Chains A and B, each alone.
Chain A
Amino acid sequence: DQQVKQNSPSLSVQEGRISILNCDYTNSMFDYFLWYKKYPAEGPTFLISISSIKDKNEDGRFTVFLNKSAKHLSLHIVPSQPGDSAVYFCAASATNFGNEKLTFGTGTRLTIIP
């Protein structure tokens, strides 16, 4: 049972334009969400997170939006740069339950076209 879903395996975006990566979740107990970026042969790198008490969090070129009623979040990257080409993972956790487990989606491969 995939509790965190990233339905787009890949996405190509022109350099300078906006990249929008989407993520859906099914578990209502999830209350904290994170995005990770992964280059080949490296471990995932934390990008940005959002708590369920917010609907938006921004950090430089990266903004995460959370729609709790739709159980949907998205990562916006603007403007997109060639170095943004990587696999992006959405992850979720149930912090109120005190566990340390992150549940990841299957990832979206973003390619920025120069």
Chain B
Amino acid sequence: DTGVSQNPRHKITKRGQNVTFRCDPISEHNRLYWYRQTLGQGPEFLTYFQNEAQLEKSRLLSDRFSAERPKGSFSTLEIQRTEQGDSAMYLCASSDRGKDYGYTFGSGTRLTVV
């Protein structure tokens, strides 16, 4: 097992375009998390799945954002009509024991909206 994998590593898009990121968690992990990190800030919680159920969403996740985990395995995060303020590092993490045991993060997808 190679850990949490995120693709692509980098994405540059024009304002107004849609983008989709993929996260492949550690295979036996039933919990999957999305965070966003902007320059000079710590990661900010976006959403959380347990298996295929999306159990918690942050207010940061506006209606332009949608996340899915269709079969309880990989997850996708889509941003529609991107804005310059969406430029950030999008981090995925997974766990089989919950957040308090220090889940495993991927290397992230860096989004730049121009």
Q: Which residues of A contact B (CB under 8 A)?
A: 4, 32, 34, 36, 41-47, 49, 89, 91, 93, 95, 99-107
Contact = CB atoms under 8 A, between A and B. Distances in A.
Contacts of B48: 100-101
Contacts of A36: 102
29 contacts: A4-B42, A41-B107, A42-B107, A43-B4, A43-B91, A43-B93, A43-B104, A43-B106, A43-B107, A44-B43, A44-B91, A46-B101, A49-B100, A49-B101, A49-B102, A93-B100, A95-B100, A99-B56, A100-B33, A100-B98, A101-B56, A101-B58, A101-B99, A102-B43, A102-B45, A102-B99, A104-B44, A106-B40, A107-B42
B41 interface: yes
B105 interface: yes
Given A43-B106, A43-B108, A49-B102, A103 B45 contact: yes
Q: What size tier do the contact residues of chain B reach?
A: 20 to 34
B42 A100 contact: no
Interface of B: 4, 31, 33, 40-45, 48, 55-56, 58, 91, 93, 98-108
B11 to A, nearest CB: 15
A89 to B, nearest CB: 5
B25 to A, nearest CB: 12
A42 B37 CA distance: 12
A65 B96 CA distance: 26
Scoring A32, A41, A46 by chain B CB atoms within 10 A of each residue's CB, the highest score goes to A46
